[in-house]
Amino acid sequence: FDLLPSLGFTAEQIAAADHYVFGSGSLEAFGPVFADDADVAARIVMQAAVEVFTCAPGLIALPLPAQADPGVASRLQSQAARAGLRAVAIEAASFEAAELDLPLVEDLEPRRPRFEPPPVERVVEKIVERDRTRRKLPDRRKGYIQKAAVGGHKVYLHTGEYDDGELGEIFIDMHKEGAAFRSLMNNFAIAISIGLQYGVPLDEFVDAFVFTRFVPAGPVTGNETVRSATTILDYIYPELGISYLGRDDLANADPGELNADGLGQGKGEIAAAEEPQPASRFISRGFSRGAAPDNLVFLPVANRPAGAGALEATDVCAACGDVAVVRKGASLICETCGARAGRLTEDQGG
């Protein structure tokens, strides 16, 4: 005999009374307590009380609004840690893209960097192309002709210069050579001349053709600076480099200049080189058309090194007009004619 059904209680009411009096052994019957809309703080307190009796950590899910900032999640974690929970799960609510309230692109203000970087120097290179124009030589031009022999083969080097003295053309003539070789050298010289007139630097040609090796080659006669060459080109371009570029490093000494005892040839040639030279040796009378007088001479004093006891030139010699007057002891002596400046002054005064 069951009293409660006889009294009119339903099975659900009887089960609820049993749960209330004796307990159910689980929390499934108390689902509304853990509903999704329950207060988060209440859920944290309830979970902490349950873990005390179960002696086991339980994972509780803490809902987070979709538009909440990270600070809200941090506060939930701190609250769960103070309550004694050992494990929590924060679940952010999902939302539709239509719910986003995004500002328009034009309404966005540009974000300024927290620290402005220092300005960086930029090297801007601009390529400027110039028209390749040919610089023509004047119709009446100056230059020189150098005759020499390379390994017994005669070579005539003709040069043409601009008004400022810059090299503008060369011609190469050879003696007793075949027509083919002579024509090749002539056309080679024309090609080099065109390159010079279009602005190719002479030092590029000099570096490209020195130290080439082919016949004819051998000792060079007729040139006082280039005494040996491995080719015709190895003679021509050192000559041009020395004459127009000041490339004294390309000059080579005569192998037979020194004797077996290591001494030179004496002072004869040096003294001859120090003699005053007429201007006609360096200036073309046909080019100048008589502009240079015949009595004009070049004195080699400027290129002559000073002696051990000589000092700077201090005056002009009254006898010869040279500026090689130096002080030796208490007297002023002209190194060109040997006159004493002091004695000349006394004679002129008397």
Q: Model confidence over 99-142: pLDDT tens digits?
A: 556 655 555 566 666 667 777 777 777 777 767 788 889 999 88
Reported as a pLDDT band with limits 50, 70 and 90, residue 14 is confident
Tokens encoding 262 = 């290591």
> Looking at residue 293, what is its pLDDT?
60
Q: With contact defined as beta carbons under 8 Å apart, do 214 and 137 qualify?
A: no
Reported as a pLDDT band with limits 50, 70 and 90, residue 318 is low
Phi first, then psi: give them for residue 174, nearest 5 degrees: -125, 155
Tokens encoding 156 = 């005539």
Question: What is the maximum span of the chain, computed from C-alpha positions, in angstroms?
Answer: 177
CA dihedral of residues 192, 207, 250, 248 (deg, nearest 10): 90
Q: How many CA atoms lie within 13 A of 43 on its CB side?
A: 20
How far apart CA 241 and CA 245 sit, in angstroms, is 5
Sign of CA dihedral 284, 244, 307, 346: positive
Judged on CB neighbours under 10 Å (0-12, 13-18, 19+), 317 is buried
Higher pLDDT, 23 or 348: 23
Cis peptide preceding 216, ω within 30 of 0: yes
- Overall residue count recorded for the chain in this entry: 350
Q: With contact defined as beta carbons under 8 Å apart, do 83 and 44 qualify?
A: yes
Q: Model confidence over 246-294: pLDDT tens digits?
A: 888 888 755 444 344 444 445 444 445 567 777 667 777 677 776 666 6
Query: Which ranges of the chain does DSSP label H, i.e. alpha helix?
Result: 3-6, 11-22, 40-54, 70-83, 179-197, 202-209, 232-245, 268-273, 285-288, 341-349
Residue 281: other Cβ atoms inside 10 A: 8
- Among 67-81, 222-236, 277-291, the minimum mean pLDDT is found in 277-291
> Measuring CA to CA, which residue among 122, 72, 114, 124 is closest to residue 93?
72
Q: How many CA atoms lie within 13 A of 342 on its CB side?
A: 8
How far apart CA 207 and CA 249 sit, in angstroms, is 12
Q: Mean pLDDT highest for which of 30-44, 132-146, 240-254? A: 132-146
Tokens encoding 99 = 């719910």
> Measuring CA to CA, which residue among 96, 196, 209, 182 is closest to residue 141?
196
> Looking at residue 167, what is its pLDDT?
92
